[in-house]
């Protein structure tokens, strides 16, 4: 792409978003025969973006900038038509084969990211970008998909799990360990990816906690959104185990065990709440793969991205 030293005046802008100080935040513009996104970033995110693009040069699935204006900290990104979240909400009946293709591309993106030692921290449908087309007969086809938004990405140095002062990323998609802000490894991202797979395959109602009425009812009971999500984890995927407890800070053990006790009561009354039961609707291969990604034990029990990409489900029609 031509260097953008003359600024943005010659571009035909189609959508502007500005920060509170009035400075450009995001611009979607037409350049040649296509569109690109101009995004003004904070100094730390801009520097991280440039570093990531250098370290993961040649990536097919990670959505990095293709150009930049350093003096204004503006990064230029490829434009994608949709995000997975918006796509699913607009068309819950989007072709399953094309959603599977999208999930495969996301898995390949995570593989590229993990290969460089990076943790994304925020694998969720909002951050999965999708380009798709629709022909005259209404047939929809995914042309490409990728993983974006690396604002809180972190390169893990050494083997010990990462501990942060606060839990990072969206609470609905964090792993159980990620909810505590401790014990975070590549396995944490695999748990999030497993949930994204469930969402794309039709299980959004079981994962999302967005209804204001439900949130108000939880608050009236003294239950935080984080506690509710943890209870769902242990309800669907199994109880707290030693592998998880060893990886998180001991001060969080009480929170985990309380959520697990609530989950145990729920499953005792309704065994069908386990993913191993309702996940059968997805087919045996999908059930095995996603179960491997969402095991409560983040150590040896949870599948790595290499193992996931070798699962038989991807070869099924």
Distance from C-alpha of 11 to C-alpha of 284, rounded to nearest angstrom: 51
pLDDT at 10 (0 to 100): 39
pLDDT at 20 (0 to 100): 57
pLDDT at 18 (0 to 100): 52
What is the full DSSP assignment across 59-76? -SSB---SEEEGGGTEEE
Beta carbons within 8 Å of 10's beta carbon, 6+ residues apart: none
Q: Which long-range contacts (CB under 8 A, 24 or more apart) does 5-14 make?
A: 5/69, 7/69, 7/72, 8/38, 11/38
pLDDT tens column, 175-205: 999 998 888 889 999 999 999 999 999 998 8
DSSP 8-state class, residue 316? -
pLDDT at 235 (0 to 100): 97
Q: Are strands 128-134 and 140-147 parallel, antiparallel or unpaired?
A: antiparallel
pLDDT at 227 (0 to 100): 94
pLDDT tens column, 38-71: 888 889 999 998 998 898 888 889 999 888 888 8
pLDDT at 159 (0 to 100): 63
Is this model's pTM higher than 0.85 or not? Answer: yes
Distance from C-alpha of 181 to C-alpha of 158, rounded to nearest angstrom: 18
pLDDT tens for the chain, 317 residues long, are 344 434 444 343 444 455 555 555 667 777 667 788 888 888 999 999 899 889 888 888 999 988 888 888 888 898 999 999 999 999 999 999 999 999 999 999 999 999 999 999 999 999 999 999 999 999 999 999 999 999 899 888 776 677 887 888 899 999 999 998 888 889 999 999 999 999 999 998 899 998 999 999 999 999 999 999 999 999 999 999 998 998 888 889 999 999 999 999 999 999 999 999 999 999 999 999 999 999 999 887 899 999 999 999 999 98
Beta carbons within 8 Å of 196's beta carbon, 6+ residues apart: 84, 103, 106, 123, 124, 125, 128, 173
Which domains does the chain possess? 12-78 (3.30.200), 82-315 (1.10.510.10)
């Amino acid at each position: 792409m031509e260097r953008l030293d003359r600024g943005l005046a010659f571009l035909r802008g189609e959508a502007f978003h500005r920060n509170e100080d009035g400075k450009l935040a995001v611009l979607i513009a037409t350049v040649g025969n296509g569109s690109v996104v101009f995004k003004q970033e904070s100094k730390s995110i801009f520097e991280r973006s440039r570093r990531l693009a250098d370290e993961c040069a040649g990536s097919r699935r990670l959505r990095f900038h293709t150009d930049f204006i350093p003096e204004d900290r503006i990064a230029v990104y490829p434009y994608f038509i949709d995000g997975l979240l918006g796509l699913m909400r607009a068309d819950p009946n989007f072709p399953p084969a094309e959603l599977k293709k999208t999930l495969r591309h996301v898995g390949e993106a995570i593989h590229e990211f993990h290969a460089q030692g990076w943790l994304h921290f925020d694998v969720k449908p909002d951050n999965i970008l999708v380009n798709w087309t629709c022909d005259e007969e209404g047939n929809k086809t995914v042309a490409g998909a990728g993983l974006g938004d690396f604002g809180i990405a972190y390169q893990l140095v050494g083997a010990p799990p990462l501990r942060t002062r606060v839990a990072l990323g969206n609470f609905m998609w964090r792993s159980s360990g990620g909810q505590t802000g401790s014990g975070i490894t590549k396995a944490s991202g695999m748990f999030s990816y497993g949930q994204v797979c469930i969402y794309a395959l039709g299980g959004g109602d079981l994962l999302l906690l967005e209804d204001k009425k439900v949130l108000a009812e939880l608050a009236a009971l003294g239950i935080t959104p984080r506690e509710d999500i943890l209870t769902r984890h242990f309800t669907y995927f199994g109880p707290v185990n030693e592998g998880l407890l060893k990886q998180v800070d001991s001060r969080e053990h009480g929170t985990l065990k309380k959520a697990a006790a609530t989950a145990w009561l729920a499953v005792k009354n309704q065994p069908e709440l386990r993913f191993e039961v309702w996940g059968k609707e997805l087919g045996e291969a999908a059930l095995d793969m996603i179960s491997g990604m969402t095991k409560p034990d983040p150590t040896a029990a949870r599948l790595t991205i290499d193992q996931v990409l070798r699962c038989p489900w991807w070869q099924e029609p």
